[in-house]
Structure 1
Amino acid sequence: MPDRQRADARRNYARILGVAEAEVAAHGAAASLEQIARTAGVGSATVRRHFPTRRALLEAVSHKRIEALSDRARQLTGQGGSRAALLEWLDEVVAYCVDARGLAAALAYDGAEPGPVHENSCSAALEEAAGPLLSRAVQDGAVAAGVTVADLITLAVGVVLATELHPEPGTRAHRLFRLAVSGLSPG
């Protein structure tokens, strides 16, 4: 019987995740866990057993996108100018966060102490992948020493969250992010 339970649990997880992806795409980070449970045909306790926090659910939904952004950071490391490569990656992070409702919330730092329940695996994966990209830009003098990938992710997430209700969130987020990166001084 234990093998059957594990198979049932795997099927429930896959079904819940599929429904959650659709709900998050439609409603963003505010997607209803109860609606996910109803649509998946399971109880809310089953959803919470697989995803004990909303962040855990958002991170699972965002997993493929995070892998793609991590792969892209690794591809850009060592290509072209270090500042241009870093900014190209950050532009892609902003664009992904605008397009993939819920991703910005999955990347947001909540101030909780790191630990098994509070660790932000999405941000941790991006920090690891983009670390060499940022290090190269710092080493080249293209980015100030002391800037961290976490700083850059927080900046990108903040811009995306601040513009998500704008009529053209992608355009507005890109403009504000570029303004933050270049500063207020003229050219």
Structure 2
Amino acid sequence: MDGGTTARPMRADARRNRERLLTEARAAFDQDGVSASLEDVAARAGVGIGTLYRHFPTRDALLEAVLRERFDVLGAEAHALLGHDSPREALVAWLRRFAEAGTSYRGLTAALSATLQDETSALHASCASMRTAAEALLIRAQRSAEVRADLTAVELFTLVFGIAWAHEQARGPDSGGRLDRLLGLLFDGLSAG
């Protein structure tokens, strides 16, 4: 005996409940933003609130589970862009995708921004590989002298969160064009010398 414990596989009904909760959370976040009622999410999934909390003990845990695949894709895109000919263009392309993803649910930019400061958050841990990959893009752009050297990754994320938040607040006609314009202004300001 090795003395270790092994996780028991999830029962089929528990797996179905978890998947229904995730499906209904996505729908609720689409409709009402990340502050959607968790009681409503549970009711829409046909389970009690206790079942929701057994699977997802906090709102951040539920949000992290909903966003995990998106974070994984963003992390993989950042790694793929490390081979791009222009380090600055690679960074700009990834930050644009990140800003777009950050506005997929109302209130998400504020939730993601808060995770930068809260290392205990489920979202903070989930974002770690994505942040690491983005930091590698930033460092590469700085080493090529295409992006100012005094910018930190946290500062860059804070700036992009600010733009994403402004975009989220001003949705309407040409909001996609507005996001591109604001990001363009930011990227111009990031240029080295």
Matched residues in 2 for 1:148 and 1:4: separation? 42
How many residues are matched? 180
Give the TM-score of the pair, scaled to structure 1: 0.82
Structure 2: 5+ residue stretches without partners: 1-7
The residue number in structure 2 matching 1:163 is 167
CA RMSD of aligned residues (A): 2.5
Partner of 1:85: 90
- Please state how far the C-alpha of 1:83 moved relative to its aligned partner: 0.8
How is 1:87-102 mapped onto 2 (pairs within 5 angstroms)? 87-98=92-103, 100-101=104-105
Q: Report what 1:54 is aligned to.
A: 59
Q: Cα gap change, 1:10/1:64 in structure 2, threshold over 3 Å: closer, same or farther?
A: same
Change (3 A) 1:174 1:147: same
Distance 1:157 1:5, change over 3 A: same
| Corresponding position of 2:4 | none
Unaligned runs of 5+ in 1: none
CA distance in 1, matches of 2:115, 2:142: 27
Which residue of structure 1 lines up, in the alignment, with residue 141 of structure 2? 137
Q: Is the 8 A contact 1:108 1:157 kept in 2?
A: yes
CA contact (8 A) 2:21 2:42 kept: yes
Given that residues 22 and 66 in structure 2 are in contact (C-alpha distance below 8 angstroms), is that contact kept between their aligned partners in structure 1?
yes
Letter of the 1:16 counterpart = L
- Call closer, same or farther: CA 1:4–1:140 in 2, change over 3 Å: closer
> TM-score w.r.t. structure 2 length?
0.80
Q: Which residue of 1 aligns with 2:128?
A: 124
